[in-house]
Amino acid sequence: MNNQIIKRSPSNIAIVKYWGKHGTQLPNNPSISFTLSNCFTETKITYSENESMSLEFYFEGKENPAFKAKIEKYLNENRRYFSFLNNLDLKIESYNSFPHSSGIASSASSMSALIMCLLEIKYKDAKIDLREASYLSRLASGSAARSVYPTMTLWGKTPSLPDSSDEYAIPIGEMINPVFKTYHDSILIVSSKEKSVSSRAGHSLMDNHPMAKNRYATARKNTEDLLTILKQGDLEGFIRITESEANQLHDLMSTSTPSYTLKEPNTIRIIDEILNFRKDTGLPVCYTLDAGPNVHLLYPDSCSKEIHTFIEETLKNYCFDNKYIDDIVSSNN
């Protein structure tokens, strides 16, 4: 008899960035992210008993050998956690809510959605342990560790939160000021091209980076400062750390050996427009960047009307095909 499981898991956007790792996907500094709502992966697993394990993988309706190989590698390397799959035929079908050509990285949502499905097979009707889900997601893709909780998440050991760990993320939504639960993330699509340097390669360029020590110390301090800022509802502090983290991430790329840049001319133009708009209006809007050229515009719900006019009248013109995606911090996964 065939059984079926369907799970959704969202993407997340880091405010303090994870960039540089060691051991088995352990971060060199803690990171903090918003969990999103509209950008998610939905994964369906149909399974039935057999004498050994087999795997089929479909992405958006088509067989995808590259992704299948990635999942097989992950399951082989982490066999000890997945013995419950040994006698199952698995058919995995995965869809992203965001267009393939949007340039949005999907590893966080896709790997966490997969792990949530696998754990549902393990636990059946019992509740999934989200810490275990975060741990296993981390082993697949570092930032996926943060996608299993709603609202806001911290991954990595930091002194003021004794419960924090490099091995899994913890939810911090309960301790933040309500204003941050109203945040929007409008993702301005500057380019839909595949990244010229993968995150995996970027992380490894941190190993011999001349600024690595300084970066990790700054990120540790930014994490502690941001936790206070989030509790206090300090929007100016939030803007300062968010933009500084985005700029540092891209500065690290341009000062790596070999050096590279993922920003495009319109990334810079959009950032300039945002800074001028903030100066002119005094509205608490800011930007962050992931490992790519797209700009994430972050703002509280209280100014969403003005920001939408700004996007429609100005920012959209710098976007590829005038494309942007309106997202919002998740209150629930």
- In the beta sheet, which residues pair with residue 6? 44
Q: Is 282 helix (H, G, I), strand (E, B) or coil?
A: coil
| CA-angle at 242, arms to 134 and 330, nearest 5° | 45
**Among candidate residues 93, 185, 109, the one with its CA nearest the CA of residue 147:** 109
CB of 275 to ligand PMV, least distance (A): 22
For the bound state, the minimum distance from the C-beta of residue 322 to ligand PMV, rounded and expressed in Å, comes to: 25
Site for ligand PMV, rule CB under 6 A: 14, 17-19, 31, 107, 141-143, 199, 203, 249, 290-291
Where would I find the beta strands (DSSP E) of 121-201? 152-155, 169-171, 184-188
Phi, psi of 7 (to 5 degrees): -140, 145
Closest CA to 21 of 114, 170, 155, 172: 155
Q: How far is the CB of 277 from ligand PMV (least distance, A)?
A: 25
In the complex, least distance from residue 35 CB atom to ligand PMV, rounded to whole angstroms? 12
Of 79 and 200, CB closest to ligand PMV: 200
Q: Which is nearer to ligand PMV, 19 or 98 (CB)?
A: 19
In the bound complex, what is the minimum distance in angstroms from residue 215's beta carbon to ligand PMV?
13
Nearer Cβ to ligand PMV, position 25 or 304? 25
Q: Which CB, 18 or 238, lies closer to ligand PMV? A: 18
Q: Which H or E element spans position 228?
A: helix 212-232
Q: How far is CA 185 from CA 3, 11, 63, 88, 153, in A?
A: 36, 11, 32, 40, 16
User: Which residue number, 288 or 310, has a Cβ lying nearer to ligand PMV?
Assistant: 288
